[in-house]
């Protein structure tokens, strides 16, 4: 029998992830100890309501309402409360006492990451957060460790399962947004208040975390451009499929050089986008997540799997727990988070991408030429145009729907083109403007 040194593990939060981490730790303790090289003794689970009914039972003697005492007696603290406070204060308290901290909390990492990393560095502790992005999917460790020798140029992520489920239903079942959201709520993907998911706040937090890590730069949450999916219509999703695309809510992190200023920087953005049907992200269905990473030497990589769920997220937390225990056994200080590149965060107006613009126009001679001229006037190059014609009302001219796909153009050029189209007498209406991502 191998005698291991014992590490005391405290869990903060007894929700679905906390209860699953506790259960798996108690169930597989010997196996985890063998992998970690140290015994992992669960010393307690701090909860807000000790009497609350839980789907996964936690042994009664481990439950406490006294988080602060639990933190003081722990070598490793696992924060699974979520939200900003008291999670942030507890993490700081744990780090300041020299404990390593594991968190699944994207909000606290996106809002307070630099403060927490600084606190960890001060005492030589380590902060682990694999479960904060993509649930069960290994993405933090691959970016931090496996790709540490490479240069990441772009990340395209489906990092919100609720919105992927909704958009997938609109695509596969022809639901409208309202019905798809109702189904997501019924299945427990969407919260009673779905704002954080459908308005893109959840994905923006994850984008800030991924961009900071991938580009060795602090990318503040308030610099992340964000649009949700509430303006996406069933007609857009159906038209997209006919044109060879699927609509996805993407978190996009890019490193690029601003063409106007020559400044190299980074930008993180979240918005619905058209993804070509032959792109690997187009095959991500239901509530699954996937993160597509483009790196200079490695080329394209995709990380795919369950982005949420109690036991799935517990898998990522336990992976961090084994890593933390190994570090304790090896000794020495934790590895500080790398922000050595410290690149500027570029504004959304500097981003270049491709666009699909759908216009309703009167079908008369000269209309196409006038529209092409508007694009040209604003420096936006048209790649493809397709037209379908509908008969007009009796006595009026037929109308045409024009679908225009551009070459790469800047957000600012596109915005001025769209404003000019809206003011043009030959355009009846702008049906939709969508960014196209993932084309070579």
Give the catalytic positions in this structure.
Answer: 206
334/105 Cα distance (integer angstroms): 20
169-208 positions binding ligand HSE, by CB under 6 A = 189, 197, 202
Near ligand HSE by CB under 6 A: residue from 308, 314, 324, 403: 308
For residue 126 the two structure tokens come to: 């380590």
Bridge-partner residues for 289, per DSSP?
305
Q: Under the criterion CB under 6 A, does residue 161 sit at the interface with ligand HSE?
A: yes
Query: Which stretch, 44-52, 159-167, 249-257, 266-274, contacts ligand HSE (CB under 6 A)?
Result: 159-167
Name the one residue in this structure whose structure tokens are 């500080």.
336
Q: What is the closest distance, in whole angstroms, from the C-beta atom of residue 250 to ligand HSE in the complex?
A: 13
Sole binder of ligand HSE in the list 20, 56, 160, 417 (CB under 6 A): 160
For 233, which DSSP code?
-
| Least spacing, CB of residue 184 vs ligand HSE, in Å | 8
Give residues with Cβ within 8 angstroms of 296, minimum separation 6: 150, 151, 152, 153
Name residues whose C-beta falls within 8 Å of residue 421's C-beta, 6 or more positions apart in sequence.
Answer: 357, 359, 371, 374, 427, 430
The end-to-end CA distance of the chain, in Å, is 56
Task: Using the minimum distance from each CB to ligand HSE, give the nearer residue, 160 or 356.
Answer: 160
- Tell the smallest beta-carbon distance from residue 395 to ligand HSE (Å): 51
Q: Residue 99 CB, nearest distance to ligand HSE (Å)?
A: 25
C-alpha span between 312 and 320 (Å, rounded): 13
Look at the alpha carbons of 345, 349, 355, 358 in this order and tell me if their dihedral is positive or negative: positive
Rounded Cα–Cα distance for residues 291 and 274 (Å): 16
- Which residue from 431, 440, 433 is spatially nearest to 247, judged by alpha carbons? 433
Least distance to ligand HSE, CB of residue 161, Å: 3
Residue 157 contacts ligand HSE per CB under 6 A: no
Q: Count of residues binding ligand HSE (CB under 6 A)?
A: 8
x/- contact string, 240-279, with ligand HSE (CB under 6 A)?
Answer: ----------------------------------------
Q: Where does this chain touch ligand HSE (CB under 6 A) — which range of 3-11, 160-168, 380-388, 392-400?
A: 160-168
Binding residues for ligand HSE restricted to 3-42, rule: CB under 6 A = none
Q: Does 162 participate in binding ligand HSE (rule CB under 6 A)?
A: yes
Per DSSP, the three-state class of 432 is strand
Q: Using CA atoms in the order 297, 134, 432, 358, what is the torsion angle rounded to 10 degrees?
A: 40
Question: By C-beta, is 75 or 202 nearer to ligand HSE?
Answer: 202
- Using CA atoms, how far apart are residues 391 and 401, in angstroms rounded to an integer? 11
How far is Cα 83 from Cα 260, in angstroms, rounded to an integer? 39
CB of 49 to ligand HSE, least distance (A): 22
The least distance separating ligand HSE from the CB of residue 91, rounded to whole angstroms, comes to 18
Q: Is 350 in the site for ligand HSE (CB under 6 A)?
A: no
List Cβ neighbours of 190 (8 Å cut-off, separation of 6 or more): 162, 166, 181, 184, 197, 198
CB of 205 to ligand HSE, least distance (A): 8
Q: Does 406 interact with ligand HSE (rule: CB under 6 A)? A: no
Q: 17 vs 404, which CB is nearer to ligand HSE?
A: 17
Q: Which is nearer to ligand HSE, 189 or 245 (CB)?
A: 189
Which residue number, 88 or 106, has a Cβ lying nearer to ligand HSE? 106
Cβ proximity to ligand HSE: between 16 and 413 the closer is 16
The residue range among 92-100, 158-166, 273-281, 401-409 that interacts with ligand HSE, by the rule CB under 6 A, is 158-166
Q: In terms of C-beta density within 10 A (0-12 exposed, 13-18 middle, 19 or more buried), how is residue 437 classed?
A: buried
Residue placing its CB nearer to ligand HSE in the complex, 39 or 134: 134
CA dihedral of 279, 281, 283, 285, whole degrees rounded to 10: -160
For the CB of residue 135, give the shortest distance to ligand HSE in the complex, in Å: 7
Q: Which of 157, 307, 319, 334 binds ligand HSE (CB under 6 A)?
A: 307
For ligand HSE, the closer CB: 93 or 162? 162
| Three-class secondary structure of residue 273 per DSSP | strand
Element (H, E) at 322: helix 310-330
Rounded Cα–Cα distance for residues 251 and 159 (Å)? 7
| Helix (H), strand (E) at residue 67 | helix 67-72
14 versus 307: smaller Cβ distance to ligand HSE? 307
Are 216 and 340 a contacting pair, CB within 8 Å? yes
Q: Contact positions toward ligand HSE, by CB under 6 A?
A: 160-162, 189, 197, 202, 307-308
């Amino acid at each position: 029998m191998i005698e291991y040194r014992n590490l005391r593990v405290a869990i903060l939060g007894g929700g679905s992830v906390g209860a699953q981490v506790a259960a798996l730790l108690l169930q597989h303790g010997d196996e985890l100890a063998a992998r970690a090289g140290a015994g992992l003794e669960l010393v307690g689970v701090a909860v807000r309501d000790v009497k609350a009914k839980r789907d996964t039972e936690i042994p009664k003697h481990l439950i406490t309402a006294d988080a602060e005492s639990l933190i003081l007696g722990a070598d490793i603290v696992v924060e699974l409360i979520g939200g900003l406070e008291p999670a942030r204060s507890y993490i700081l308290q744990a780090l300041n006492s020299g404990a390593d901290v594991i968190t699944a909390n994207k909000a606290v990492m996106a809002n307070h990451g630099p403060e927490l990393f600084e606190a960890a560095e001060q005492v030589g502790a380590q902060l682990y957060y694999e479960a904060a992005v993509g649930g069960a999917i290994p993405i933090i460790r691959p970016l931090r460790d496996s790709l540490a020798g490479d240069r990441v140029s772009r990340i395209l992520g489906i990092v919100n399962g609720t919105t992927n489920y909704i958009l997938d239903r609109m695509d596969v079942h022809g639901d409208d947004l309202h019905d798809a959201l109702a189904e997501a709520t019924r299945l427990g993907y969407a919260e009673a208040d779905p704002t954080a998911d459908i308005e893109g706040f959840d994905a923006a937090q994850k984008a800030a975390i991924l961009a900071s890590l991938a580009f060795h730069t602090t990318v503040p949450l308030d610099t992340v451009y964000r649009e949700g999916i509430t303006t996406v219509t069933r007609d857009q999703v159906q038209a997209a499929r006919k044109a060879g695309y699927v609509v996805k809510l993407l978190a996009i992190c890019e490193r690029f050089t601003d063409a106007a200023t020559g400044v190299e920087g980074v930008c993180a953005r979240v918005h619905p986008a058209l993804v070509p049907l032959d792109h690997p992200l187009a095959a991500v269905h239901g509530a699954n997540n996937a993160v597509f990473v483009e790196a200079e030497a490695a080329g394209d990589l995709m990380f795919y799997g369950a982005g949420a769920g109690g036991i799935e997220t517990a898998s990522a937390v336990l992976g961090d727990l084994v890593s933390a225990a190994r570090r304790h056994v090896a000794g020495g200080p934790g590895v500080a988070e790398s922000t050595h590149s410290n690149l500027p965060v570029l504004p959304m107006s500097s981003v270049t991408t491709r666009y699909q613009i759908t216009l309703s126009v009167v079908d008369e001679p000269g209309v196409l030429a006038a529209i092409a001229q508007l694009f040209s006037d604003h420096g936006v190059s048209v790649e493809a145009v397709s037209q379908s014609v509908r008969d007009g009302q009796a006595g009026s001219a037929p109308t045409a729907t024009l679908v225009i796909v551009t070459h790469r153009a800047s957000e600012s050029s596109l915005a001025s083109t769209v404003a000019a189209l809206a003011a043009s007498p030959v355009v009846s209406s702008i049906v939709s403007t969508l960014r196209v991502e993932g084309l070579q």
